[in-house]
Structure 1
């Protein structure tokens, strides 16, 4: 469904403000709703004309999200475990003992940048080996306990991906992600038409060209170039998944923050920044000399926004992305999915619905589509979760406290349900009853009046 003309006008105006107030030679942005690019706009000049959805910009650290997708593909294929030390797959670096999970989530405690020279403005040939990415000192920063952003950490992950595939990083990315998703204008080096990167003088309306080097082994930290068209397709993939690359369940895992969120609700998952806010934005920002970029998705609103500028600093693309999402979500809120009854009734599942008790605390089980069960509290507070059926007749928690936990229906010798076992917690049909299934037993005198 296309956007209303009034909504499009708001988006156009907000982009124009970013280009003018941010003093950017050009900006470009696109908005995806339910998988379709429904709005895009370019402002300023690239090669004498406004940028289009096919104009390449350098996307900087959004590259890290592509790297994370490659790592999770290896995990899903059984080639590695996220708790593996890096040395298991890429030995000989100063981060040998740091885990893949720690590097993906920036909790490995390694340095933010490489040893000199400044990698973003230096040809990658000055660092020909992975041992050059961190030097001898990994810069200990409370490993596993604190978020500490690391560019060389993702360069090491890119080198690990290349080693496990026995191919250069760029070739792996092309065959494993870019080709399946149809991202034909996402490349390691610019391909025309592309924007040039500029620095804008802070006190005069003058420009200085920025260098465009091949970062070599540091490429996985921020090398990629892309377009509004391509990055919008990638954003759609991050929202709903694609079994040729990663299923939705793995992408949902990537969105979960690994370290506690900050006071502003922001955190970091597996190659994705979690920004919080009213729409639960998740994505990544990017910056390289001459370029800024942003990508955020909201599963709640069914929206994704990508934005680019060819300026080293100035435009606030993070604010732009948030404002574009808010403008559409406010003016044209997403309709909920229509309710429909189950296609048929399973008597055994239906018999599980209704009130249950954890001790004396009241809960209820609801039956949803696809044989999913939902545990909801009937009290003032309690642990709620959804459960999907497993092949062995049990259910697996999908969210909240019981995510990954097992729900088992326990029956007596005659096949009648006696209780539910939820990670060893027992839920019964009556408060603390029947007594014979309650761990620790129940006082034989039962419920009584008075306070003694």
Structure 2
């Protein structure tokens, strides 16, 4: 099966784009564009980092509800963007659990916390815990960079990760189910690029679509859809009701172009998959 809808990326106003759709068993239903080209992921780094944090949890190196980040915050707060840390500053702007403050700083503190607990630099821990076991040889967190935004990867590699999230082998499926469950329900916040959302639902490192509007996924995406997008023009979503995941990477910064074309693209992919 080759999805004709993936060819829509040729109409995106970007120099280069690549996309793929994958099922839980790893079957790639279609791929378009340079699937082996490495793109900066920006915030699509976060789901990879979160997965490594969850491996550390299952290995017993950390607990989800142990203190981490600012006073009163836990690993769970950091993963769910409710620690109270500012967006890009290690500065507290709200009490933990009160508001959904999307925070790169929070993921950087997560990386530091795991590195201290495991005595392994986070970039290396990510490689050993997630990238290497999944065969993601082209994916790196360069120069010991930020677990929030400094990943580099390919569509081929992220398709492997998207298959793993749908049918976990590295983690207990119950842990992954928890990561895709809304944490601190009813919490308001800003979805970067899309404004205030009430509620602004999030799991453990993964954004949950639910009833958000506007949104970067499609009008036909199920409320259970989860994933992440990045400011470098990248996204990864998993729609459990459709039984597929989609990865798209581009080399143009997120902006009005993405707000316009991404939902139409997703709706076309889902329509073709569902037949």
Q: By the TM > 0.5 criterion, same fold?
A: yes
Question: In structure 1, how many angstroms separate the alpha carbons of the residues matched to 2:53 and 2:259?
Answer: 26
Whether the aligned pair in 2 keeps the contact of 1:294 and 1:308 (CA below 8 Å) is: yes
Distance 2:174 2:263 in 1: 25
The 2-side partners of 1:37 and 1:328 are apart by: 13
The question of whether the paired residues in 1 share the 8 Å contact of 2:19 and 2:249 is answered with yes
After TM superposition, give the deviation of residue 141 of structure 1 in Å.
1.4
> Which digits, 9 at most, give the CA deviation of each residue in 1:191-223, with x for residues without a partner?
xxxxxxxxxxxxxxxxxxxxxxx5x5x511111
- CA distance in 1: counterparts of 2:200 and 2:73, whole angstroms: 24
CA change 1:331–1:307 in 2 (3 A) is closer
Match of 1:230 in 2: 157
Q: 2:6, 2:20 within 8 Å by CA — same for their partners in 1? A: no
Deviation sequence 1:396-449 (CA, Å, 0-9, x none): xxxxxxxxxxxxxxxxxxxxxxxxxxxxxxxxxxxxxxxxxxxxxxxxxxxxxx
| Distance change in 2, residues 1:318/1:70 (3 Å) | farther
Q: 1:283 aligns with which of 223, 227, 230?
A: 227
User: Which among 32, 36, 39 is matched to residue 54 of structure 1?
Assistant: 36
Q: Does 1:292 align with 2:212?
A: no
Residues 172-183 of structure 1: matches in 2 within 5 Å? 172-183=125-136
Residues in 2 aligned to 1:187 and 1:249: alpha-carbon distance in whole angstroms? 27
2: distance between equivalents of 1:110 and 1:313?
23
CA RMSD of aligned residues (A): 2.3
2:139 equivalent to 1:186: yes
* Cα displacement (A) at 1:79: 2.7
CA deviation profile, 1:64-107 (whole Å, cap 9, x unmatched): 11221122122223332211112xxxxxx7x1431111111010
CA separation in 2, counterparts of 1:76 and 1:167?
Answer: 16
Q: 1:9 pairs with 4, 8, 21, which one?
A: 4
Provide the rounded CA distance (Å) in 2 between the counterparts of 1:306 and 1:331: 16
Deviation at 1:168, TM superposition (A): 1.3
Query: Between Structure 1 and Structure 2, how many residues are aligned?
Result: 255
Query: How big is each residue's C-alpha offset from its partner over 1:330-352, in whole Å with a ceiling of 9 and x where there is no partner?
Result: 23428xxxxxxxxxxxxxxxxxx
Contact 1:31–1:303 under 8 Å retained in 2 = yes
Q: For residues 84-95 of structure 1, what are the structure 2 equivalents within 5 Å?
A: 84-86=66-68, 95=70
List aligned pairs for 1:82-161, cutoff 5 A: 82-86=64-68, 95-114=70-89, 134=90, 138-161=91-114
Work out which of the residue numbers 61, 68, 75 in structure 1 matches 2:57.
Answer: 75
* Corresponding position: 1:302 with 2:243: yes
**Contact 2:141/2:147 (8 A) holds in 1:** no
How big is the shift at 1:329?
A: 3.1
1:31·1:232 contact (CA, 8 Å) conserved in 2? Answer: yes
| Equivalent of residue 273 in structure 1, options 197, 207, 229 | 207
Query: Residues 226 and 238 of structure 2 are in contact (CA less than 8 Å); yes or no, is this contact kept in structure 1?
Result: yes
Give the conservation status (yes or no) of the 8 Å contact 1:286–1:292: yes
In the aligned structure 2, how far is the partner of 1:264 from the partner of 1:29? 31
What CA distance in whole angstroms lies between the structure 2 residues aligned with 1:66 and 1:106?
16
Q: Label 1:59 to 1:253 Cα distance change in 2 as closer, same or farther (>3 A).
A: same
TM-score by length of 1: 0.53
Query: How much has 1:266 moved relative to structure 2?
Result: 5.1
**Quick one: higher RCO (CA 8 Å, sep 6+), 1 or 2?**
2
Alignment match, 2:16:
26
Cα shift readout 1:159-191 (whole Å, capped 9, x = no counterpart): 1111112121121111111111110110123xx
SS at match of 1:219: coil
Give the TM-score taking structure 2 as reference length: 0.84
- Does the 8 Å CA contact 2:159/2:247 hold for their aligned counterparts? yes
Structure 2 CA distance for partners of 1:321 and 1:184, relative to 1, 3 Å = farther
The 8 Å contact of residues 285 and 318 in structure 1, kept in 2 or not, is answered as no
SS state of the match for residue 58, structure 1?
A: strand
Q: CA 1:184/1:318 → structure 2, altered by over 3 Å: closer, same or farther? A: farther
